[in-house]
Amino acid sequence: MKQVQKILAILLLSGLFFAPISSIFAATSTDFNSNYLISDAEMQDWQSMNQADVQAFLTQYGGAIATMSLSDKNGNIKSAAEIICAAAQEHRISPKYLLVKLQKEQSLVTAKNPTQNQLDGATGYGITDGCGWTCTMYLNNKGFGKQIDSAAGIIRWYYDNKNTASWIKKAGISYLVDGVTIIPANDATGFLYTYTPHLHGNENFWNLWQDWFGHSIPDGSLVKSADSPAIYLLQDGKKRLIKSMSILASRFNREAILNMPSAEIAIYPEGVPISFPNYSILKNGSNYYLVDFDTIRPFASFQVVQKIGYNPEEFVEVTSADLVGYAIGTTINVDDSNPLGRLVKVKEADNALYYLKDGFYQPVYNATLAKIAFPGLKTEDATIKDLRNYQPGPLVKFPDGTLISEISSNNVYVIEKGKKRLIPDNDVFNGFGYKKENIIKIDNMLTSIHETGATVYLPARLLALSNQDATTSDTINGNQGGETIIENGKMVAVSDAKTVYVGKKFTTNVNTYLVADYGTGEVLAGKNIDTVRPLASFTKVMTAYQLMYDGLRLFGQTTFNDNQKSKYHSFRTVPGEVFNNQDLFEALLVSSINTPAKMLVSSVEKESKFIANMNAKVKEWGLGKTKFVDVDGYDVKNVTTAREFLKLYTNAERIKEVRETLALKQYSYNEIKDLDGKPKHYDTHSNLLVNKPGLPFKIISSKTGYLDEAGAGLIMLIERPSDKKQFIIITMGNPNYAQRFVEPERLANYAITNF
């Protein structure tokens, strides 16, 4: 009875009421609209994917062109990703469009063994209904590179010449296509019908576009990929970078972060970054602002700031450019003693809850909702009389991205723009990476406050991508599970005042670097090379050495069980599946995946004894600052210095099996025993320079590493082509993860030029 009274008190006091809750139904995904295929903005967004994004996309879909060397339009040999991005940039046409064309016309994104005809007619350019593969236009544009360039070039030509040629289909004009009247809603749609004058072909294009590049992750989701520490908020179809962990903590539940493939996150264009923690006080000249989520509220004067009681030491000095992207909210005046709002409980209304802010009161259904919506506010006592100074506002709803479930059913929803979207089954729930512990159980009345939106679906591209390993686990060790971030989360760094150089100075923001002569071991140049730093996934090099030293049989087999999971487990497998040890060895060193380390160690020694053997071996080598506490590099207590790691790496990679594996550009294998219907594993080297064409040096072997405390790291054995002289290049403490290969490449170029 009290619950009913409380509901009535909330609804009557707010002047709102509800009809009975309607039954839940599954909404279908958007239907094909033959008049609107994609927008002009999408067609011309040539910066929507960079070369690394395209390469990741091709690699994850597993087609042969991901690793093929192909001729560009000028006959130069390049990677498919490089050819695609060059054409996109030159003609200012989206690389996403070119990827869809490759699949629609010749299935080249997924083809494992494409024929020469498929490559020669990659985008179908010049192949018409009249003359087919004998058309002169096709023969003049035959070949992968020419086809890519022509496909992008003709769309740009359509845009530039649409009013000079009557045969180019344009927006707003009626056309008969396969007996159906089509009125293109925009130029991009018209041009697609010009290129492919068939209804079915363009429906195929639309289906591929939606499946690959239609936004699928609900707004309000926090996402990150396995190969970057960057965390984004998805909002209004864009990804907004959260610039620091303090910002994340001030607004979000970090346990709700979804780990998604990098190719999926690349679909979303960059939005305005989230630059300041919630409720920060910003000072711009004589103006002061309160950060209130995505708005900044100006204070009427500095006196108001003083009266409310903010500490000047907490002010953040900003420029006008820093404020771009924030909406200006209501002004905070001298009588506004609670600019963040108040959460109150009204005894006369059966202790009903209300949120008071900016002259409005909003009913809050119960304490569970209040805790989620206003985590920083304490509940105060108030009376109905207190509310008469406020206007009624809408009921408070759960924030976007919240998972809810009805107590009376097993239905699970995610909130997006105030609506509840049904997650229809476990495949969808698990496919997006949602966590059951984040589901909030509520009653039907609270559910009914949220209008029903479209059912959440898992696109086939994510089903396809889930058939692969979460690669390069070394890139997220420091961000998984929370221990490292809570304890520290800051990169080990030596200040400029205490920095020590060896040899000729190389200018870089990387905190530690080393260049050595591989043959003699002489250090030619270095910076902070005796600073103790976390090893991160550099640890796996020593693990590989010890495995071979302890007699690992690479031709043997290992069966996975749950006891072999790393603390960060990204290896796609289920208990009982059987693997070749050689394949696990490649996953360990090429992809830098953690769990294969524990699997392989289990086949030669008890793990604690194995770690003791590693420490004994480095002590034998005279490496007094190097220590191991695990076999995969997850723990920050695995440490070394650049000088000591030079010797460790040199000793390890001189073992034939270690060097050959560290030299691989990619790998592909099938499980010996498959239990989940996903037997194939494949990946490219986590050092992206390995697959970069045109480098003036040869990479013989290399290994990456990353932890928040370690920063990005890379070690490479390289060779100068002119005289075959070999160098070891080490970078540790690289603070710029997004550009983590730029400085190592510069350092390698510096080495072969100066020594």
Say if CB 395 and CB 16 are below 8 A apart. Answer: yes
* Mean pLDDT along residues 494-523: 92
Model confidence at 129, in pLDDT bands (50, 70, 90)?
confident
Say if CB 274 and CB 233 are below 8 A apart. Answer: yes
pLDDT digits (tens, 9 = 90+) for 690-708: 988 889 999 999 999 988 8
Q: What Å distances lie between residue 702 and 509, 633, 698, CA to CA? A: 21, 16, 11
Say what the pLDDT of residue 21 is.
27
Question: Looking at the domain covering 488-754, what would its CATH class be?
Answer: alpha beta
Asked if residue 36 has pLDDT above 90, the reply is no
Name the one residue in this structure whose structure tokens are 């910066």.
Answer: 47
* Mean pLDDT along residues 343-367: 90
Asked if residue 337 has pLDDT above 70, the reply is no
**Which range (80-94, 154-168, 266-280, 480-494) has the least confidence?**
480-494
pLDDT digits (tens, 9 = 90+) for 424-460: 777 678 778 888 889 999 988 888 889 887 777 676 5
Model confidence at 27, in pLDDT bands (50, 70, 90)?
very low
CA–CA separation, 358 and 274 (whole Å): 24
Q: Give 375's Cβ-side CA count (13 Å radius).
A: 10
Q: What Å distances lie between residue 356 and 136, 399, 450, 741, CA to CA? A: 73, 17, 21, 50
Asked if residue 144 has pLDDT above 90, the reply is yes
Asked if residue 361 has pLDDT above 50, the reply is yes
**Which range (70-74, 358-362, 654-658, 741-745) has the least confidence?**
358-362
* Mean pLDDT along residues 613-631: 93
Tokens matching residue 220: 């309000």
- How much is the mean pLDDT over the chain? 86
Q: How many residues does the chain have?
A: 755
DSSP 114-148: --HHHHHTTT-TT-BTTTBTT-HHHHHT-SHHHHH
Tokens matching residue 492: 């080990």
CA–CA separation, 450 and 422 (whole Å): 12
Alpha helix locations (H) across 478-631? 483-487, 539-549, 581-589, 595-602, 607-620
**Which range (141-150, 286-295, 414-423, 479-488) has the least confidence?**
479-488
Model confidence at 17, in pLDDT bands (50, 70, 90)?
very low
| CA 21, chain centre distance (Å) | 38
Domain map (residue ranges) of the chain: 1-30+341-396, 40-213, 281-328, 488-754
Say what the pLDDT of residue 648 is.
97
DSSP 403-447: EEEETTS--EEEEETTEEEEE-SHHHHHHTT--GGGEEEE-HHHH
Outline where DSSP puts E strands in 497-646.
501-503, 512-517, 523-527, 533-534, 557-559, 578-580, 639-640
Own/partner long-range contacts of 720-727 (Cβ < 8 Å, ≥24 apart): 720/752, 721/696, 721/697, 725/517, 725/519, 725/752, 725/755, 726/517, 726/518, 726/519, 726/700, 727/515, 727/516, 727/517, 727/518, 727/524, 727/751, 727/752, 727/755
Say what the pLDDT of residue 462 is.
63
Model confidence at 531, in pLDDT bands (50, 70, 90)?
very high
Tokens matching residue 54: 């395209």
Q: Does domain 1-30+341-396 have CATH number 3.30.2390?
A: yes
Q: Give 469's Cβ-side CA count (13 Å radius).
A: 32
Model confidence at 561, in pLDDT bands (50, 70, 90)?
very high
